[in-house]
Chains A and B, each alone.
Chain A
Amino acid sequence: MNILITALIVSGINALLALLLVIAERFLANYGTCKITINEKEKLDVEGGRSLLASLKEEKIFLPSACGGRGTCAYCKCQISDGAGPVLPTEEALLTAEEIQDQTRLACQVKVKSNLDISIPEELFNIKEFKAKVDRLQDLTYDIKLLRLQLLQPSQINFISGQYVQLESQPYEKVKESVSRAYSIASSNSKKTHIDLMIRLVPEGICTTWVHNYLKEGDELIFTGPMGDFRIHDGVGEIIMVAGGSGMAPMVSLLHELTRNQSKRKITYFFGAVARRDLFYLDEMKDFKRSLSNFTFIPALSKPLPEDNWKGVGGLITVPLENYMKEIKADDAQIYICGSPGLINACGQVLKKHDVTEDRIYFDPFA
C-alpha cells in the first residue's frame, strides 16, 4: 500500500513538472510567424524556430549548402541587415572580420526568431528541386560509381558546365535522417534530360553508403540545383586541370563544353591517383584527345602496385604539375582544381612558387 502511495505521489510530482515545462515551451520556444524580406522585394511568412537555411528551403528557395547545414562548408553565406541577433561562435570560425562587418552570416546557423531582412544573389532564385529516377548505376572503380539520373519533374535542367547539385539521401537501416550532399555534374550541359554524377564511397559516409549499397536502378530520388560558380572562364591562355578520383566530374563537364565550342586552347589534365585500380574513363579521355585540338591527359600514380606495371608518371600529382609549370610560360594560363582542401592547398603552393596570380586559379573544393 505504501509503495502505491509512493508511486502515485512521485508520478504526480513528475506530471506537474512536465506540465510546467510544456507551458514554458509554449512561451519560450515558440517564435510564432516571422516575416523574411529577401532583396527588399520578396516577402515570406515562415514558422520561427528553425535555421534560416531550413526555413528558406521550405519555401523552395535553395541556398547552396555542400555540408547540408552542419556549419562546415560556409557555402550558405548571405547578408542579413536586420533581425539576425549576435554572431554565433560557429559562424565566427568560418567568416572573416570583413565579412562580419559587412553583415554576412551563415544561413545554416542563424535561427529565425523574429522578422529578418536578407540579401541573396539573384541567381539563387533559379535553383529548383528536381525529382529524378536512377537510370544507371555502374562501377567506375572499386570505390567510385557513376550515377545517371533521368529527370522526371521538372524534366529538363539548364546548368553551366562545372556546376553541382545537392543530392538528398533517403533513410536506410540505422540511418533515420535524410542528408543533403553536393556532387558535381559530370555530363555535358547540352544534355538536359539526364545528368551524370560521380560518387566515391566515403568510409562511414551517410550519403555515399546509401548510393553504393542501397540505391538501385529505377529508384526515385530528389536533388536541388544547379549551383556553384566553378566554370570555364574566357581567355586565350592554356588550361591546366588538376583533379583525381571523383574530382574528375566537373572536369568532364568542362571538357564537353570546350569540345562543343571547338576551343583551340591548349588543355592539360593532371589526374592524381594511388594505383592503377583508381584509373577510370580512360576511353573517354582518348575520345576528348581525338575531338579537341590540343588536349593531353596525364595520370600520375603515387603508389603503383608491382602488378600494375606502371610506366607513366609517378608520385603525387603536385610532382608532374610542378615539372610542367617549370617548362611553360604561364602568364595567361588558367588553372582549374577540384579536390580536397589538402590537394588545393598543395597545388596552390606549387602555383604560387611559379608566380601564378590568384585571379587565374579556380577551385571547386570538396565540402
Chain B
Amino acid sequence: MEHLSPWVIFFAAIFTGNILLTYFLGMCSFLSVSKQIKTAVGLGLAVTFVLTVTSALNYFIYYQILKPFHIDYIRYIVFIGVIAATVQLLEMFIERYSEPLYINLGIFLPLITVNCAILGVSLFMIIRKYNFIQSVLFGAGSGLGWFLAILAMAGIRERMKEDKVPSALQGPGITLIIAGIMAMAFIGFSGIVQIQ
C-alpha cells in the first residue's frame, strides 16, 4: 500500500474509517468514561498515546523480529504484551503527574490494555501492509478518531444531564442509541476518501 499518502491514512483514520464509529472497536471504555468531558479528555489522550507508541513498537517487532524468524503467527501474544507494558508505563506516569486524573479514570486506565481498538490497530496495519510512517500515522489517527468520538459523546451526555430520559433507557441504553446516531452521522464522511 505504498502509494497511499500517510496523511491520507491519518485523515481517514479520524473521519471516514473512525475506529470507534465505523469499525465499532473500543466500545466499553467509550460507554463508561464518557460521562464527564474532563475524564473523557484524559482517557482520549491516554488511548492516543498508547495507540501511537504501540503501533510503532509492534511494527518494529513484527517486521524485524517475528517475520525474519518465521514466527509471525505469535504476533497476537507479542502485541498484547507490548500493549500491556505501554499501558503500565502510562499508568506510572499519570499516577505521578496527575493523581486526580488517575483516581478519576480508576479501573479504566489499566483496562486500556484490553481495549480491542488498540490490538485492532496493530493487526490492521499488518493486514493492510502499511509501511512504518503509514503505521504510526494510522495509530495516531485512530487514537485521535477515538478521542474525537469519546469527546463528542461526553459533550452530548453532559448537555443531556438535566434532560428526562425514560428510566428503561438511562445509562448504557441511551448512550448506545446516541453512539448509533453518531455513527450514522460519520457515514456522511465516507465519500471524502475510501481506504477500504
CB <8 Å contact, A28 and B93: yes
B192 interface hit (Cβ, 8 Å): no
Known A-B contacts A21-B85, A24-B92, A28-B93; the reply to A88 vs B100 at CB < 8 A is yes
Known A-B contacts A5-B69, A6-B74, A13-B65; the reply to A85 vs B81 at CB < 8 A is no
Report how far A113 CA is from B96 CA in the complex, Å.
Answer: 8
Query: Shortest CB–CB separation between residue A199 and chain B, in angstroms?
Result: 33
CB <8 Å contact, B78 and A13: yes
A9 interface hit (Cβ, 8 Å): yes
CB <8 Å contact, A85 and B99: yes
Query: Shortest CB–CB separation between residue B91 and chain A, in angstroms?
Result: 9
Chain A contacts of B88 at CB under 8 A?
21
A residues 210-261 near B (Cβ < 8 Å) are none
- Of B81, B92, B99, B103, the most chain A CB neighbours within 10 A belong to B99
Report how far A75 CA is from B52 CA in the complex, Å.
Answer: 45
Known A-B contacts A13-B61, A13-B81, A17-B85; the reply to A111 vs B99 at CB < 8 A is yes
- Pick from B69, B71, B96, B100: contact of A28, CB below 8 A: B96
B89 interface hit (Cβ, 8 Å): yes
CB <8 Å contact, B103 and A21: no
Chain B contacts of A101 at CB under 8 A?
none
Nearest 3 pairs between A and B by C-beta? A17-B85, A28-B92, A6-B71
Q: Name 24 interchain pairs, CB-CB below 8 A, sorted by A.
A: A2-B71, A6-B74, A9-B69, A9-B71, A9-B74, A10-B74, A10-B77, A13-B61, A13-B65, A13-B78, A13-B81, A17-B85, A20-B89, A21-B85, A24-B89, A28-B92, A28-B93, A29-B92, A86-B99, A88-B99, A89-B100, A89-B104, A90-B103, A111-B99
A294 interface hit (Cβ, 8 Å): no
Closest to A16 in B: B85
Report how far A187 CA is from B154 CA in the complex, Å.
Answer: 56
Query: Shortest CB–CB separation between residue A70 and chain B, in angstroms?
Result: 14
A interface residues, Cβ below 8 angstroms from B: 2, 5-6, 9-10, 13-14, 17-18, 20-21, 24-25, 28-29, 85-90, 111, 113
CB <8 Å contact, A17 and B69: no
Closest to B71 in A: A6
Query: Shortest CB–CB separation between residue A342 and chain B, in angstroms?
Result: 27
Query: Shortest CB–CB separation between residue A61 and chain B, in angstroms?
Result: 23
Chain A contacts of B65 at CB under 8 A?
9, 13
- Pick from B78, B81, B103: contact of A88, CB below 8 A: B103
Closest to B106 in A: A89
B residues 51-108 near A (Cβ < 8 Å) are 61, 65-66, 69-71, 74, 77-78, 81-82, 85, 88-89, 92-93, 95-96, 99-100, 103-104
Chain A contacts of B100 at CB under 8 A?
86-89
CB < 8 Å A-B pair total:
54
Closest to B104 in A: A89
With contacts A2-B70, A9-B69 known, what are 4 further pairs, Cβ within 8 A? A6-B69, A9-B71, A24-B89, A88-B100
CB <8 Å contact, B103 and A89: yes
Report how far A90 CA is from B71 CA in the complex, Å.
Answer: 47
Chain B contacts of A13 at CB under 8 A?
61, 65, 78, 81-82
CB <8 Å contact, B78 and A10: yes
Query: Shortest CB–CB separation between residue B38 and chain A, in angstroms?
Result: 11
CB <8 Å contact, A17 and B82: yes
Report how far A113 CA is from B61 CA in the complex, Å.
Answer: 36
Closest to B92 in A: A28
Query: Shortest CB–CB separation between residue A205 and chain B, in angstroms?
Result: 25
Report how far A57 CA is from B66 CA in the complex, Å.
Answer: 51
CB <8 Å contact, B71 and A5: yes
Chain B contacts of A89 at CB under 8 A?
100, 103-104
Interface string of B129-172 (1 = CB under 8 A from A): 00000000000000000000000000000000000000000000
Report how far A18 CA is from B85 CA in the complex, Å.
Answer: 8
Known A-B contacts A2-B71, A86-B100; the reply to A14 vs B92 at CB < 8 A is no
Chain B contacts of A25 at CB under 8 A?
92
Report how far A125 CA is from B77 CA in the complex, Å.
Answer: 55
Chain B contacts of A113 at CB under 8 A?
96
CB <8 Å contact, A14 and B81: yes
Chain B contacts of A9 at CB under 8 A?
65-66, 69, 71, 74
